[in-house]
Homo-oligomer: A and B are copies of this chain.
């Protein structure tokens, strides 16, 4: 059961597209005729934001007939949302609902594909996603990656600890920073201390310093496999995550490296899902 977006988001989406109603429908004089709108997958899709699309249509005055919940994975050709009402209502809500469904389901579908590939290799690997969603879309984006079976890596800067070289630059470098890890763990005993490494050498130094997670940025699968084995020897309790450039095509290879987590950004962008909309007249 995923969370619902707040009304203020629903209103913002509508205000962007249809602030003063649908001029075309008004000029055609067809607004009061009754019709039905259906949304049907054109490809295998993991749905997201069907609940919000339904609320868009309801706010436009239509009545929702049925919907499949966010997180459902369907084949091509499945009708997953239907609503009835005045043509004016259906046309006002059509593209707002569709656009939301296509972007959110696009993220969910890309995520689901990678999660499935990863789980096929190793069911205990966790797939998480970064903060790099389109600015202003985090509520959609996080719902979508959850619908696709992933979890957020970190929601923002305020609730988790991830040390980059851009931090250690102010600590006198990585080595000096690593001397402070024990103290940092005492200061934040409820948080895991995660440190990003840009090379195998850094990774080993970080791991033995006592951090909770070492995050490996942009290492290729082969090098990563070797490194994971080394890390398991020198620091068996440390969790290992791989980040940077992981996509559907290389997800299995990364899953086979033995890391505990894959950290994704690429699912946030890419082609929206392709969803067919049919609007039909119910007039006699």
Chain A positions near chain B (C-beta within 8 angstroms)? 1-4, 6-9, 11-28, 30-33, 35, 59, 61, 86-89, 91-92, 94-96, 99-100, 102-103, 106, 124, 126, 128, 131-140, 142-143, 146, 151-163, 166-167, 169-171, 177, 180, 184, 186-192, 194, 213, 239, 241, 260-261, 266, 269-272, 277-281, 283
Residues of B within 8 A of A88 (CB): 1
**Known A-B contacts A18-B157, A99-B135, A270-B269; A1 and B86 likewise in contact (beta carbons under 8 Å):** yes
Contact across chains for B18 and A189 when beta carbons are under 8 A apart = no
Quote the shortest CB–CB distance from A160 to chain B (angstroms): 7
Quote the shortest CB–CB distance from A119 to chain B (angstroms): 12
- 5 inter-chain pairs at a CB distance below 8 angstroms, sorted by A residue, are A12-B136, A28-B163, A91-B166, A92-B157, A169-B279
Contact across chains for A139 and B191 when beta carbons are under 8 A apart = no
Contact across chains for B126 and A188 when beta carbons are under 8 A apart = yes
Q: Which of A22, A96, A260 is most buried by chain B, counting CB atoms within 10 A of its CB?
A: A22
CB nearest neighbor in B for A21: B3
CB nearest neighbor in B for A169: B281
Contact across chains for A23 and B136 when beta carbons are under 8 A apart = no
Residues of B within 8 A of A17 (CB): 131, 138, 156-157
Residues of B within 8 A of A154 (CB): 159, 190
Contact across chains for B189 and A260 when beta carbons are under 8 A apart = yes
Bound form: Cα–Cα A271–B265 in Å? 10
Bound form: Cα–Cα A106–B280 in Å? 37
Residues of B within 8 A of A143 (CB): 20
Contact across chains for B13 and A136 when beta carbons are under 8 A apart = yes
Quote the shortest CB–CB distance from A52 to chain B (angstroms): 9
Contact across chains for B18 and A261 when beta carbons are under 8 A apart = no
Quote the shortest CB–CB distance from A128 to chain B (angstroms): 7
Residues of B within 8 A of A2 (CB): 21
Contact across chains for B155 and A159 when beta carbons are under 8 A apart = yes
